[in-house]
Amino acid sequence: MRDIKFRGKRVDNSEWVYGYYVVWEGRYTHFIYTGKIKDDFSDFVFHEVDPATVGQYTGLKDKNGKEIWEGDIVKYHPECNRGIGRVLYEGSGFYVGDEFNGLLDDFATMGIEVTGNIHDNPELLEGD
């Protein structure tokens, strides 16, 4: 079973925060909860995040052991410097590329490498 976790950029300082995704419907505000779940709710730490930056962990790691997240920009076939795409979620799985070039699981055996993400490094997709 894979970890279900999310990341998002904080609205107060633009830093990435990782944890559970919560939408407070009373305020229509998006949060990442970073504390540990306890019965007495004593460890709640919420960080308001920009909803456009929220992405889910795919459950996979790249060839260097780095976690692969929705919104990451990855190289596949990095040994021959071929293929770059964005990780996205559509319907039933994570894909690489805007045209759904293939399931992320299929690329995981090809030495995939995270090179950045669409929020911090959009220029990596230019000319793709």
DSSP letter assigned to residue 116: E
Of the candidates 111, 116, 28, 34, the residue with the CA atom closest to the CA atom of residue 65:
111
Check whether residue 47 and residue 15 sit in a common domain: yes
Residue 6, C-beta contacts closer than 8 angstroms, at least 6 positions apart: 18, 19, 20, 21, 32, 54, 55, 56, 57
Q: Quick one: tokens of 9?
A: 């950029």
Of the candidates 122, 75, 77, the residue with the CA atom closest to the CA atom of residue 97:
75
Check whether residue 80 and residue 25 sit in a common domain: no
Q: How many domains, the chain?
A: 2
pLDDT at 100 over 80: no
Task: Give the CATH number of the domain where residue 85 resides.
Answer: 2.30.30.290
Check whether residue 97 and residue 117 sit in a common domain: yes
Check whether residue 79 and residue 43 sit in a common domain: no
The residues with which 41 forms a beta bridge, in sequence order, are none
Check whether residue 12 and residue 45 sit in a common domain: yes
Range of the domain at 35: 6-52
User: Per-residue confidence at 117, pLDDT binned at 50, 70, 90?
Assistant: very high
Span 59-97, pLDDT tens digits: 888 888 999 999 999 887 655 556 788 888 877 778 887
pLDDT given for residue 115 in this prediction: 92
